[in-house]
Amino acid sequence: MSIYKNYKLVTLDQRFIAETIARTGSEQLLDKLTRSYVGLYDNQESWYLPLRANIGKNKPPGAFFETPFPTDNPHFKRPGIDFEKALFVLDEFIIPIRNTLPQEQAKLINEQSNIISDDFERYVLKLENISKKSPSYRFSTVPLFPDGMEKIKQITSKEREETMENELKIQATNEEIIELTEKQKYINLLKMAIEEGEISETQNLNEAIYLIDDIKISGDFDYGVRGLDHNVLLLDDQNWVDILQWGTIIVPETSSYVSDKSISELEEIGYHAVPLVENHKYTMEENDLQLINDLAKLKESAAALNTSVKESDAEKFSKLSPNQRQAILSELASQQHHSSEYHPNKPEIESPDFEI
């Protein structure tokens, strides 16, 4: 939509007609001197569109804009603006005239100025794509002014960029609103689950498994053993991507939290950040979170057996399937059980690193 400061009604200096005919060799402008023109663009060099009392029936579609109004004047048979005979004129050749158009027509042009300019711009761009031998091209004065056509292309290009930019801003705003709405919905679900006793809050960061706003979800630790799995955070139709973006997953067993940003209150108690992958667009699925839990259990079981897990073995463990990991954890749990049941008085001894 073009910017204009109301339209202006003008006629042309004879010098412009003479100079244009001399420059182009075209005599299409010979009878254009006494016409009135509508100026829609507020520039030093601009397009002026001729007013016609009777738009011919053979005018190509899109080459004019009708301005009908009730009248008894027989001269106004099909009044309108003729795009086909538009001229690109310097200000020095413009002669302003009083707007003596019929009131209804003047009002219509003023109210429809943006639509008229949009239609004219489409007409100019259309000429770029038709055969130069066609009557629609040869009988148009617009191609006589390549600089003016280029200006129209610049205007429409800028408008498209601005439109796209505005659409992207609107889209981003809408997505932000949706995200905030979904996040608040999730927070409300958490609060409801807390009220119903399904999960609980804690003020002890060492026992928290999730932070969101001012809520700390407890892992329900009992004598140092966590009783609540991270899966309890999947309350409705949320996924791990949303949950991780809205808040912070904490894994107390590994003194770590999943975030690309350092959280001072967690760092102060010795926790370290596990960064989100793929340039801050973390796509953790349930299996990924289960792997973190399994690694924590592996280290916990190894510690209970007076051993530790090498980094190379932890890497091997990570590449196993969930069932294979569970089998190893079950075996370690069994060893731990037998160790405590059958050798209660056996002194602790140093064991080699646990190997897979």
What are the pLDDT digits (tens) for 4-38?
Answer: 345 789 998 989 988 988 998 887 776 666 789 99
Q: According to the model, what pLDDT value does residue 8 have?
A: 85
For 278, what's the count of Cα atoms within 13 Å in the CB-facing half-sphere? 5
CATH class, 8-144 region: alpha beta
Sign, CA torsion 292/295/296/297: positive
When the pLDDT of each residue in the chain is averaged and rounded to a whole number, the result is: 81
If we measure between CA atoms, which residue out of 92, 93, 82, 103 comes closest to residue 38? Answer: 82
Which H/E stretch holds residue 105? helix 103-111
Q: Where are the domains of the chain?
A: 8-144, 197-342
Q: According to the model, what pLDDT value does residue 2 have?
A: 39
What are the pLDDT digits (tens) for 242-290?
Answer: 888 889 999 898 898 988 888 999 999 999 988 776 323 344 455 666 7
Per-residue pLDDT of the chain (356 residues; tens, 9 = 90+): 333 345 789 998 989 988 988 998 887 776 666 789 998 776 667 899 999 999 988 888 999 999 999 999 999 999 999 999 999 999 899 899 999 999 999 999 999 988 998 999 999 999 988 898 899 998 899 999 999 898 888 877 776 677 677 776 777 676 666 556 888 888 989 998 999 888 999 999 999 999 998 899 999 988 888 888 888 898 877 778 788 888 999 989 889 898 888 899 999 999 998 877 632 334 445 566 677 777 777 878 887 777 777 777 777 877 788 788 888 888 888 877 766 654 444 443 333 344 55
Q: According to the model, what pLDDT value does residue 180 have?
A: 62
Cα distance between residue 35 and residue 142, in whole Å: 16
If we measure between CA atoms, which residue out of 20, 24, 43 comes closest to residue 32? Answer: 20
